Structure 1
Amino acid sequence: IVPPELLAPAANETLVLALGSRIALNCTVRWAATEHCEPVSSWTKDGQWLGTPSLSRFGQNASEHLLATVLQVNLTHDADFGVFACWVSNATATFTLRREEAAGHVSAVLAALMVLALLVLLAGLYVRCRLSVLLWYRNRYGELEINDGKLYDAYVSHATAPDDRKFVHFIVKPQLENRYGYKLFLDEQNILPNAEPSADLIMNVSRCRRLIVVLSVAYLEQDWCNSSFREGLWRLLELSKKPIFIVFESQYREITHPAISLLKQHRNLVTLLVWRAGSMTPSSDFWKELCLALPRKVFFQGTMGDPQTQLQEDKDPMLILHSSYLDSRGDPHPDGDLGDPFEPVPVGWGGQRATSPTPNPSPQLLPGLRGYLFRGPPPPHVSSLGVAEIDISDLGSRNYGARTDFYCLVTEDDI
């Protein structure tokens, strides 16, 4: 006995259909004409017999016979889906019907929502951490402003009002100098008398890398702010690179001064910062924006003084912060010098020699020249006769961070 040959389906089929659809499952077999017994077709669903098919067709010729059986299936309920099998003698064909999800784009919608949520999260992180990232990048890869001959990082101009003084001296100055290491030049004078920069202003601003103006209500009462602020702004732009203007939020909303409108129009030329109620916190955006507007600060480990001076290898002892010069002691031998005949002659302040005689006289140094002739200088001593001539009352306010003058040691024979 030759078993029937299955013509359709060629393999087990899996169909994904929507709920409420209708489908006809077709199963076709072929067998030899020599077989006298006609095969009988039947269908099962999930192993349960369904009985005779709804439609069967026979075909034959001299050599073979064909049988096509069709099962009509209405998919109106979830129970109508399953595994349908067609049985013809010992030949079997399987149809697997699966329900199509009602929301076919659920996965795509979920993926889109996840991407949108990620973008919102990144946008929030950017808004919150943008200044910190920019400040980190600037401090790591920003342009260095050294060896430019500047003595200060910023020139701070403010009004003489008590509130402005407190803001500058007790908030801005301690924060920038103690926390960030900047050096500030504070000035409460009118920087543009008669709408023209004074000689002192030009000199002082030229020694600073940035210009900061505390633009309070008291500051706007100056003549140049009321009469010619536009011209004064152009003068400041000529003197300093992108000046920084600080305004107070409480006054910023109430001020109708044309200077504020002018600064808003030229935001690309100036930096306009608003001091808000939460700006007192050291980690607030105000300080980050201010540091971004200021030059990149360079810190050298193991060195003291301004990097400009250190890189130029200026050996002036006045540039050493912990110099032993101020450790003034009296002459250990007031009656005469009993030291080594080859001991170098100490030179006091202003180039005057100590009054103790030496067995072997050394070449006398000219007044105003400092140093020693034979070897490296030990800690200098100041005689008791010269103590009254030394004025050290302003040593604490002097700036020895950077010097541009130079010194040369000569003797009388060299002249």
Structure 2
Amino acid sequence: MEDLCSVPPEVLFPSSNQTLEPALGSQITLNCTVRLPSQQYCNPVLRWMKDGHWLGDESSPYASEEKVWISDNETETFMSNLLGVNLTSDEDYGVFACWIRNTTATFTLQRSEAAGHVSAVLAALFVLGLLLLMAVIYVKCRLNMLLWYRNRYGELEINDGKLYDAYVSYANSPDDRKFVNFIMKPQLENRHGYKLFLDDKTILPNSEPSADLIMNVSRCRRLIVVLSYAYLEQDWCINNFRDGLLRLLELSQRPIFVAFESQYREIEHLAINLLKQHKNAVTLLLWRAGSMTPSSDFWKELCLALPRKVSYQGIMADPQTQLQEDKDPMLILHSSYLEYQGDPHPEGDLGVRGSILRGPPPPRMTGPDGPPALAAGIVEEVQLEEGQRSEIDISDLGSRNYGARTDFYCLVTEDDL
């Protein structure tokens, strides 16, 4: 009869070499269970090893618990050993093996990759940073993208019977006149090619639009109101701004109100609250300290509120009014003419090329053999020149191009006079 003590045991758990990835700081119990032929005097021993070193001495930090039981028919013996492992450091990870009668079952403990969490955190931070970058780009470039899209795919407002792009209403005060005539008008007309109609009179006397107002506004595609202290002091703004605003909404689509930020924060007027309530029907723009720069957001927002401009090759005037025979030489799209390059004719604008006082040409001396007809022709020519020419040569006055002259334009106000 074969010696049952030499029969190798059958490992029930783990069924194969097992790999575990517990987290650092956790506690895990390794269960090793085997089945042996029942033989009481064999006295089998189940021991643990870690990385090739035996465990089980009194100084070992690992606690084990062994259980032995016999089957009901007393033909088989079962042994189970539970090893508790506290993973407090990297040294607690490794290969644990339970050994009995030259049979080994192994547990490989690997630290869960912290890089997995790190990679997830890094991925989340990357996505968050990308979203923040996109938000910053949107905030910084939103107006540029909207302008590009509008200028490329926006609706064209041509052949609509309008003579002006915008009707500008402002108060007759020194600050408002300077803002409109020296800042808004040059920027919109010279840089962006718009044509403005300026009006410093009360647009709604007695809260009812006048016939001139209706006619002038009907000739403009947009309405711009410079909403300053002086403007809000008008009677219709003080007494009945609500009805006046409704009239303006009837006269123009989405009127544009320009307010100064320094005044806007201090204005305690019903008009501001009404404009906020009708923000879907009006456009409210704030003139800030940095709005003077041509590339500021103020001009971009204002251009978005104005019609889309159209440019044609070879046309110097406003193409939207050129079709209606607008020949005003000051309404040109390109602002290069503002760069003063010197007066090509420093003597003045009257066509003077040389000396103002001219005498007759010197007589030609001819000999006795010279043709008398030639001498008579010369004398006749001199007499003709003396009779027809004045002291000032104005022969080419009608052909002079005054469209390129800008130095004689001077804007003054009544106060300056």
Name the TM-score, length of structure 2 as normaliser.
Answer: 0.65
User: 1:162-181 maps to which residues of 2 (within 5 A)?
Assistant: 162-181=174-193
What's 2:15 paired with? Answer: 10
One-letter code of the match for 1:234?
L
What's 1:217 paired with? Answer: 229
Shift, 1:172, TM fit? 0.6
Q: Find 2:262's aligned residue among 223, 227, 250.
A: 250
Counterpart secondary structure, 1:148 = coil
* C-alpha distance 6-158 of structure 1, shift in aligned 2 (>3 A): same
Tell me, in whole angstroms, the C-alpha distance in 2 between the residues paired with 1:209 and 1:302.
Answer: 24
Contact kept? 1:27, 1:93, Cα under 8 Å? no
One-letter code of the match for 1:9?
P
Q: Find 1:77's aligned residue among 85, 88, 105.
A: 88
Tell me, in whole angstroms, the C-alpha distance in 2 between the residues paired with 1:257 and 1:238.
Answer: 22
Counterpart secondary structure, 2:201 = coil
* C-alpha distance 253-41 of structure 1, shift in aligned 2 (>3 A): closer
**Count of aligned positions:** 328
One-letter code of the match for 2:15?
A
Matched, 1:43 2:35: no
Q: Find 1:143's aligned residue among 148, 155, 159.
A: 155
One-letter code of the match for 2:54?
W
Q: Find 2:79's aligned residue among 64, 68, 91.
A: 68
What's 2:385 paired with? Answer: none
Name the TM-score, length of structure 1 as normaliser.
Answer: 0.65
User: 1:114-125 maps to which residues of 2 (within 5 A)?
Assistant: 115-125=127-137
Q: Find 2:31's aligned residue among 18, 25, 29.
A: 25
Counterpart secondary structure, 1:228 = helix
Tell me, in whole angstroms, the C-alpha distance in 2 between the residues paired with 1:60 and 1:267.
Answer: 87
One-letter code of the match for 2:88?
H
Tell me, in whole angstroms, the C-alpha distance in 2 between the residues paired with 1:255 and 1:69.
Answer: 87
What's 2:203 paired with? Answer: 191
* C-alpha distance 196-58 of structure 1, shift in aligned 2 (>3 A): closer
Contact kept? 2:208, 2:247, Cα under 8 Å? yes
Q: Find 1:290's aligned residue among 284, 302, 318.
A: 302
* C-alpha distance 17-254 of structure 1, shift in aligned 2 (>3 A): closer
Counterpart secondary structure, 2:49 = strand
Tell me, in whole angstroms, the C-alpha distance in 1 between the residues paired with 2:232 and 2:221.
Answer: 24
Shift, 1:238, TM fit? 1.5
What's 1:278 paired with? Answer: 290
Counterpart secondary structure, 2:243 = helix
* C-alpha distance 15-111 of structure 1, shift in aligned 2 (>3 A): same
The Cα offsets for residues 69-109 of structure 1, whole Å up to 9 and x where unpaired, read as 41422416323332101223343211123456899977666
Matched, 1:262 2:274: yes
Counterpart secondary structure, 2:298 = helix
One-letter code of the match for 1:7?
L
Counterpart secondary structure, 1:153 = strand
* C-alpha distance 214-263 of structure 1, shift in aligned 2 (>3 A): same
The Cα offsets for residues 101-135 of structure 1, whole Å up to 9 and x where unpaired, read as 89997766665555555444444443333333332
Shift, 1:287, TM fit? 1.2
What's 1:409 paired with? Answer: none
Which runs of 5 or more residues in structure 1 are unaligned?
323-328, 330-386, 398-415
* C-alpha distance 195-392 of structure 1, shift in aligned 2 (>3 A): farther
What's 2:139 paired with? Answer: 127
Tell me, in whole angstroms, the C-alpha distance in 2 between the residues paired with 1:20 and 1:394.
Answer: 92
Which runs of 5 or more residues in structure 2 are unaligned?
1-5, 58-63, 333-350, 352-393, 405-417
Tell me, in whole angstroms, the C-alpha distance in 2 between the residues paired with 1:262 and 1:159.
Answer: 20
Counterpart secondary structure, 2:268 = coil
Contact kept? 2:255, 2:283, Cα under 8 Å? yes
Contact kept? 2:98, 2:106, Cα under 8 Å? yes
Contact kept? 2:14, 2:31, Cα under 8 Å? no
Shift, 1:223, TM fit? 3.0
One-letter code of the match for 1:239?
L
What's 1:335 paired with? Answer: none
* C-alpha distance 261-393 of structure 1, shift in aligned 2 (>3 A): farther
Tell me, in whole angstroms, the C-alpha distance in 2 between the residues paired with 1:275 and 1:165.
Answer: 15
Counterpart secondary structure, 1:26 = strand
Shift, 1:166, TM fit? 1.3
Worse-superposed segment, 23-32 or 170-179: 23-32
Tell me, in whole angstroms, the C-alpha distance in 1 between the residues paired with 2:72 and 2:266.
Answer: 104
Tell me, in whole angstroms, the C-alpha distance in 1 between the residues paired with 2:231 and 2:67.
Answer: 103
The Cα offsets for residues 29-62 of structure 1, whole Å up to 9 and x where unpaired, read as 45699xx988654321011122597526365799
One-letter code of the match for 2:79?
A
* C-alpha distance 232-55 of structure 1, shift in aligned 2 (>3 A): closer
Contact kept? 1:85, 1:92, Cα under 8 Å? yes
The Cα offsets for residues 255-293 of structure 1, whole Å up to 9 and x where unpaired, read as 323333322322222111111111111222211211111
Question: What is the RMSD computed on CA atoms of the aligned residues?
Answer: 4.2
The Cα offsets for residues 333-354 of structure 1, whole Å up to 9 and x where unpaired, read as xxxxxxxxxxxxxxxxxxxxxx
Counterpart secondary structure, 1:254 = coil
Tell me, in whole angstroms, the C-alpha distance in 2 between the residues paired with 1:165 and 1:215.
Answer: 12
Tell me, in whole angstroms, the C-alpha distance in 2 between the residues paired with 1:204 and 1:317.
Answer: 16
Worse-superposed segment, 149-158 or 221-230: 221-230
What's 2:368 paired with? Answer: none
